[in-house]
Amino acid sequence: MAAGTIRYWAAAKAAAGIAEEPYTAENLADALDAARLRHPGELARVLRRCSFLVDGDPVGTRGHETVRLAEGGTVEVLPPFAGG
């Protein structure tokens, strides 16, 4: 089990009501499931549209359960952004 930080941006930040919070999880799927439980409602809908960076690397289309989280790592939650 690793501990690190989830950072929410734009609509994800608004839905969670906070800019960042700690995680304790083995993989991205577990960290996001825990975030959904802590912030029921709008955050679950927003997360379906988000992309994610784990320690600066894009997750892309990989299954979230296959993305291991490192001790002291960072998950960036990036909703779609408008503009250019």
Q: What is the pLDDT of residue 33?
A: 98
DSSP helix/strand/coil, 76: strand
Asked whether the predicted pLDDT for residue 25 surpasses 60, the reply is yes
Q: What is the pLDDT of residue 81?
A: 76
Give the C-alpha separation, 29 to 13, whole Å.
19
Q: What is the pLDDT of residue 83?
A: 56
Instruction: Report residue 82's pLDDT band, with 50, 70 and 90 as the boundaries.
Output: low
Q: What is the mean pLDDT of residues 3-17?
A: 97
